[in-house]
Amino acid sequence: MPQYNPPLRDMQFVLHELLHAVDELKRLPPHADLDEDTVNAVLEEGGRFAAEVIAPLNLSGDSEGCRLDVATHAVTPPKGFKQAYETYVAGGWPALSCDPAHGGQGLPLLVNQFFYEMLNGANQAWTMYPGLSHGAYEALHAHGTESQKRLYLPKLTSGEWTGTMCLTEPHCGTDLGLLRTKAQPLADGSYAITGQKIFISAGEHDLAANIVHLVLARLPDAPAGSKGISLFVVPKFVVKDDGSLGARNGIFCSALEHKMGIHGNATCQMVLEEAVGTLVGEPHKGLQAMFVMMNAARLGVGNQSLGLTEVAYQNAVAYARERLQMRALSGPKAPDKPADPILVHPDVRKMLLTARAYAEGGRALSAYVALQLDKSLASSDAAERQACEAEVALLTPIIKAFLTDNGWIATSHCMQVFGGHGYIHEWGMEQFVRDARINMIYEGTNTVQSLDLLGRKVLANNGATLKAFGKKIAAFVEEEGVDEAMQEFVNPLADLGDKVTKLTTELGMKAFQNPDEVGAAAVDYLRVVGHLSFAYFFARMAKVALQKQASGDPFYTAKLATARFYFAKLLPETAGLIRSCRTGLQPLMAMDENLF
């Protein structure tokens, strides 16, 4: 069975040595009293929960899956999930970065980001039960009425209740403008909601006393399309004004999906039959309110694959040290043994280092974005808030798509290190691959992310946000370019930066003539900009490592080796991507649709 070791040392490196995050955070009024020791202690304790409580349930949860009792609509998650959730709630973990006004501990989102990386690495399917609550919490926190906040936020914060996002319907996923669920106003100001939702993660279970569904539906007078969608909060059990639970509401799980992975999480088809809900935010403006949940969820999905990349790497390394097979081509390395450990073989190392570099690059980028998010929420400087918000918006689709594509590559490589054993369930490696696959799809497919990046975040404002991020890279290049030791990192970074600038301009001009050019280029483009951001953070990490190498701590030697591997073996992918990108739309549209 796979093991999970919380990567605390690397997290501390990113927090304290790369980002100097506590200093940055202390500038923000809500985090003025933060200190490194607290952050480290929280992560250490959180890592222990991940490794000791939920990691041991990952493989068994996959084998067992969830059960639906069709008579009662009750869903039972795999054995041990409920007890683990009780431990989680008892430990106060749901409240970590929630608002103290509603019982939260008010820690930065950055700390929660690292905590969730560990939960996801230990058990993605389990983590989705509490994980979905965040979206509901954030939507109500941002758009709820005082009454909604009072009734729901404390229980979501404590974890007594969990949340869901009910968006997708059988005929619409990406295109929510097509949705059909209806909300009928009732005399008391609430609404009776009727319709069918699918793919609702954690839609029904017995882990919590209540489930708070955030549901998209149409009011009777709603305009057609995406401008006629409203957001409602629909609890599994009606919540009385004193906060106690009332009647079972008309929202039921009618079926569980049989999926490729995340078997331990209940993916529900939900039927709403005059379920009573209240409006969140303004009528017909549900999609905007929903995007509060969605952006958090997209960062969360990138974090899921980051966790899987790390755990797959750890277990593949352990196997590669133990498994004896063949001799190194350059001669025996363990002559006392019947064969060499497969870690001596260059391609095994290449697969492992690919996963390692994707984990370390992804961790640095995600942490940076979480820090910007904290600043965007809590800086006392409005201009800083706005700049950080724009940067988070730019990097969110990259985290969602680049980290999940990388997670798919990395988990598959790590499985490959196991040879035939990787294909066998009991080793746990193939589960990481199956679990990682959903992350490229849900919360907006990776194609949708790429359109969001190139269309909305880059071209729509003439590249202004990208330029601002590019300026940070240019400043770093300018500063470090004089340091001979840094040139191996800075030169390819600068080169790729120039290429991205040129490519962006080209694509802008093409898109001006035909908007479909955006769709043709977007997926390649996102991967190129993803590499640019990884190259930037690997160069910055290399700088820190070079400075501290003299300490003799082999951590820095390893960090440098990973950075060099990244620049040598992974960054070159951009050469092919840019070429493919520049061939444009025509090769895709030339085929008549009847000829496919």
Q: Which residues are catalytic?
A: 443
> What's the min distance (Å) between Cβ of 185 and a second copy?
25
Q: Which stretch binds a second copy (CB under 8 A): 151-159, 316-324, 493-501, 537-545?
A: 316-324
562 binds a second copy (CB under 8 A): yes
In the bound state with a second copy, the residue whose beta carbon lies nearer, of 335 and 420, is 420
Q: Which is nearer to a second copy, 161 or 442 (CB)?
A: 442
Please, what sign has the CA dihedral across residues 81, 84, 86, 92?
negative
Site string for a second copy, 202-241 (x = CB under 8 A): ----------------------------------------
Closer by beta carbon to a second copy, 122 or else 262? 262
Which residue from 352, 367, 486, 490 is in contact with a second copy, where contact means CB under 8 A? 352
Candidate ranges 188-196, 227-235, 297-305, 415-423; the one touching a second copy (CB under 8 A): 415-423
Residue pair 183/149 in contact by the 8 Å Cβ criterion: no
247 near a second copy, rule: CB under 8 A: no
CA 339 distance to own-chain centroid = 40
* Rounded distance between C-alpha atoms, residue 268 and residue 429, angstroms: 26
Given the rule CB under 8 A, which of 78-86, 155-163, 277-285, 346-354 is the region that contacts a second copy? 346-354
Span of 96-104, 212-220, 345-353, 389-397 interacting with a second copy by CB under 8 A:
345-353
412 binds a second copy (CB under 8 A): yes
339 touching a second copy, by CB under 8 A: yes
**CB-nearer residue toward a second copy: 446 or 465:** 446
C-beta closer to a second copy: residue 168 or 379: 168
Q: Is there binding between residue 592 and a second copy (CB under 8 A)?
A: yes
**Token pair for residue 355?**
């996963």
- 256-315: which residues touch a second copy (CB under 8 A)? 257-261
* Cβ-based nearer residue to a second copy, 81 or 199: 199
In angstroms, rounded to a whole number, what is the distance separating the alpha carbons of residues 35 and 16? 11
Is residue 254 at the binding interface for a second copy, with CB under 8 A as the rule?
A: no
Q: CB of 412: closest distance to a second copy in angstroms?
A: 7
Q: Judge whether 571 and 538 are in contact, CB under 8 Å.
A: no
Burial class (CB in 10 A: 0-12, 13-18, 19+), 488: middle
Taking CB under 8 A as the rule, does residue 445 contact a second copy? yes
User: Hey, which residues does 26 pair with through a beta bridge?
Assistant: none
Please give the angle made by the CA atoms of 528, 529 and 534, to the nearest 5 degrees: 100
Question: Is 515 among the residues that bind a second copy (CB under 8 A)?
Answer: yes
Residue numbers 63-102 binding a second copy by CB under 8 A: none
Exposure class string for 367-406: b at 16+ Cβ within 10 A, else e: bbbbbbbbbbebbeeeebeebbbbbbbbbbbbbbbbbbbb
Can you tell me which of 223, 243, 246, 572 binds a second copy, judged by CB under 8 A? 572
Interface segment toward a second copy; rule CB under 8 A; list 382-390, 469-477, 542-550, 571-579: 571-579
Distance CA 158, CA 94 (A): 6
Q: Which two tokens stand for residue 384?
A: 């800083």
Residue in 119, 458, 477, 577 binding a second copy, rule: CB under 8 A: 577
Residue 162, helix vs strand vs coil: strand
The least CB distance from residue 541 to a second copy, in Å, is 15
Torsion from C-alpha of 239, 245, 251, 253, nearest 10 degrees: 140
Considering beta carbons, is residue 254 or 325 the nearer one to a second copy? 325
Tell me the C-alpha distance between 54 and 49, whole Å. 7
Say if residues 210 and 161 touch (Cβ distance below 8 Å).
Answer: yes
Q: Is 441 in the site for a second copy (CB under 8 A)?
A: yes
Cβ proximity to a second copy: between 156 and 493 the closer is: 493
Contact 432, 308 (CB under 8 A): yes
Residue 320, interface with a second copy (CB under 8 A)? yes
- Residue 402 or 408 having the CB closest to a second copy: 408
Report strand pairing: 251-256 vs 74-76.
unpaired
CB of 199 to a second copy, least distance (A): 5
Cβ 499 to a second copy shortest distance, Å:
12
First to last CA, the chain: 44
CB 275 within 8 A of CB 250: yes
Q: Whose CA is closest to 82, among 192, 208, 195, 166?
A: 208
| Range 452-511, binding a second copy (CB under 8 A) | 455
Q: Output the smallest distance, CB 57 to a second copy, in A.
A: 18
Q: How far apart are CA 24 and CA 28, in angstroms?
A: 8
Q: Least Å distance between CB 235 and a second copy?
A: 25
CB of 554 to a second copy, least distance (A): 6
The two structure tokens encoding residue 398 = 């990259």
Binding-site member from 240, 248, 350, 502 for a second copy (CB under 8 A) = 350
Looking at residues 150 to 189 of the shown chain, list those that interact with a second copy (rule: CB under 8 A).
168, 171-175, 177-178
Query: Between residue 389 and residue 408, which ones bind a second copy under the rule CB under 8 A?
Result: 408
| Smallest distance, a second copy to C-beta of residue 3, A | 15
- Determine, following the binding rule CB under 8 A, whether residue 512 of this chain makes contact with a second copy: no
Question: Which of 215, 438, 493, 546: binder of a second copy (CB under 8 A)?
Answer: 438
Cα(449)–Cα(404) distance, rounded to whole angstroms?
Answer: 11
Single out the segment in contact with a second copy by CB under 8 A; choices: 34-42, 135-143, 321-329, 495-503: 321-329
CA distance 355 to 559: 14
CA distance linking residue 165 with residue 133, whole number of Å = 9
Among residues 473, 505, 504, which one has the least CA distance to residue 491?
473
Copy the structure tokens of residue 391. Answer: 């940067």
The dihedrals phi and psi of 463, each to the nearest 5 degrees, come to 75, 15
Q: Write the interaction track for a second copy spanning residues 11-40; mark x where CB under 8 A is met and - where it is not.
A: ------------------------------
Nearest alpha-carbon partner for 127 in 5, 262, 1, 253:
262
